[in-house]
């Protein structure tokens, strides 16, 4: 289907509507970034093309004729349809853009995800990523429910019923504040002593908590917590006061140890506490496309 002869272009219709809205040809010209004579010439060309008179031109200015007002009403409908068309095309581009929903435990979100997303953006800047941050248990639940394409968690074991890949170990350090008696201790702490000591613990569901609890439980029931806190930041703040020892990720503890705000306490017999970082996914939908690229970035860095 071809357009009928004499069909005007959208730009001149927009100019004509601006004459109606702005109240004068001169104001409409300024709105469109052109001179008044240039605007007048465009309207005159439109009149010739349509074979109607749209403006009454006089010494005091130009006003719409009755025919001009009718054409303006029809032009508004055409222009609204054109804007709707452009919005639809824009939405199609947005829909086509790859989207990736990820969820991560707090330590990984703070200390690893930014590097991985920067690497991903260097490869595919068009991928739109959304990130939810919660503890390991909730991240696993989001992946199982299909609310996240990938999850990044830590803990002593791979989550059941999910696929995944290990991304490396993270060392856990025993730390205290400078005023705690263990800050100047020269004898390493045995795990049997540590299990009997009230510690600052993360909330249930935390991968750090699950790892430490499992290790210490091999030496007896862990002592009741000195406090259960919902973030590593809160544990650091409490440990600084000398309230109780804490076991923290080396990633979290490093800045505090560097400034002396926390002190590392040695463990007996060269014991090293660590836990695995993992990326997880639903077994029915292993990583592909954008998800696979992010897994590759996480594996390399």
Q: Which residue has the tokens 């508004």?
A: 76
Mean pLDDT by 10 residues, the chain (301 residues): 72 89 87 88 88 84 87 90 81 68 94 94 92 94 95 90 92 96 95 96 89 92 94 94 96 95 93 91 93 94 73
Which domain-ending residue is among 59, 75, 95? 95
Residues 180 and 222 in one domain: yes
Whether residue 2 is contained in a domain is answered as no
CATH number at residue 268: 3.40.190.290
Which domain-ending residue is among 54, 72, 95? 95
Residues 33 and 138 in one domain: no
Residues 268 and 137 in one domain: yes
Residues 171 and 146 in one domain: yes
Which domain-ending residue is among 95, 114, 141? 95
Residues 283 and 176 in one domain: yes
Whether residue 284 is contained in a domain is answered as yes
Q: Which residues contact 48 (CB under 8 A, 6 or more apart)?
A: none
Residues 188 and 169 in one domain: yes
Q: Residue 301: what pLDDT?
A: 73
Q: Residue 93: what pLDDT?
A: 59
Contact 251, 114 (CB under 8 A): no
Residues 111 and 23 in one domain: no
Number of domains forming the structure of the chain: 2
Residues 229 and 177 in one domain: yes
CA–CA gap between residue 35 and residue 301 (Å, rounded): 58
Whether residue 270 is contained in a domain is answered as yes
Whether residue 78 is contained in a domain is answered as yes
Q: Residue 62: what pLDDT?
A: 79
The secondary structure of the chain, three-state, reads: CCCCCCCCCHHHHHHHHHHHHHCCHHHHHHHCCCCHHHHHHHHHHHHHHHCCCCEEEECCEEEECHHHHHHHHHHHHHHHHHHHHHHHHHHHHHHHCCEEEEEECHHHHHHCHHHHHHHHHHHCCCCEEEEEECCHHHHHHHHHHCCCCEEEEEECCCCCCEEEEEEEEEEEEEEECCCCHHHHCCCCECHHHHHCCCCEEECCCCHHHHHHHHHHHECECCCCCCEEECCHHHHHHHHHCCCCCEEEEHHHHHHHHHHCCCEECCEHHHCCEEEEEEEEEECCCCCCCHHHHHHHHHHHC
Domain residues for 275? 100-296
Whether residue 5 is contained in a domain is answered as no
Whether residue 3 is contained in a domain is answered as no
Whether residue 26 is contained in a domain is answered as yes
Q: Residue 156: what pLDDT?
A: 84
Residues 59 and 123 in one domain: no
CATH number at residue 46: 1.10.10.10
Q: Residue 277: what pLDDT?
A: 94
Whether residue 14 is contained in a domain is answered as yes
Residues 70 and 143 in one domain: no
pTM reported for the whole predicted model:
0.65
Residues 182 and 281 in one domain: yes
Tell me which residue of 295, 289, 257 sits closest to 171, measured CA to CA: 257
Residues 232 and 276 in one domain: yes
Q: Residue 95: what pLDDT?
A: 54
Q: Residue 160: what pLDDT?
A: 87
């Amino acid at each position: 289907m071809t357009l009928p002869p004499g069909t005007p272009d959208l730009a001149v219709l927009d100019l004509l509507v601006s004459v109606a809205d702005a109240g004068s040809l001169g104001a409409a010209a300024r709105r469109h970034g052109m001179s008044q004579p240039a605007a007048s010439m465009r309207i005159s060309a439109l009149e010739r093309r349509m074979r109607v008179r749209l403006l009454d031109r006089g010494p005091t200015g130009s006003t719409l004729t009755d025919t001009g007002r009718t054409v303006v009403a029809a032009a508004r409908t055409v222009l609204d349809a054109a804007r709707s068309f452009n919005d639809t095309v824009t939405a199609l581009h947005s829909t086509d853009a790859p989207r990736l929903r990820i969820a991560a435990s707090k330590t990984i979100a703070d200390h690893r995800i930014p590097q991985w997303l920067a690497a991903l953006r260097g490869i595919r800047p068009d991928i739109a990523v959304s990130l939810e941050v919660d503890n390991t248990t909730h991240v696993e639940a989001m992946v199982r429910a299909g609310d996240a394409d990938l999850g990044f968690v830590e803990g002593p074991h791979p989550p059941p019923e999910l696929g995944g890949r290990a991304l490396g170990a993270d060392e856990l350090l025993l730390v205290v504040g400078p005023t705690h008696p263990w800050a100047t201790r020269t004898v390493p702490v045995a795990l049997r002593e540590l299990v009997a000591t009230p510690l600052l613990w993360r909330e249930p569901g935390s991968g750090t908590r699950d790892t430490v609890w499992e290790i210490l439980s091999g030496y007896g029931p862990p002592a009741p917590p000195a406090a259960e806190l919902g973030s590593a930041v809160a544990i650091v703040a409490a440990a600084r006061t000398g309230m109780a020892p804490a076991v923290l990720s080396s990633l979290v503890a490093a800045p505090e140890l560097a400034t002396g705000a926390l002190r590392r306490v040695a463990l007996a017999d060269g014991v090293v506490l660590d836990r695995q970082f993992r990326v997880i996914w639903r077994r029915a939908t292993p990583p592909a496309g954008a998800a696979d690229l992010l897994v590759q970035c996480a594996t390399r860095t």
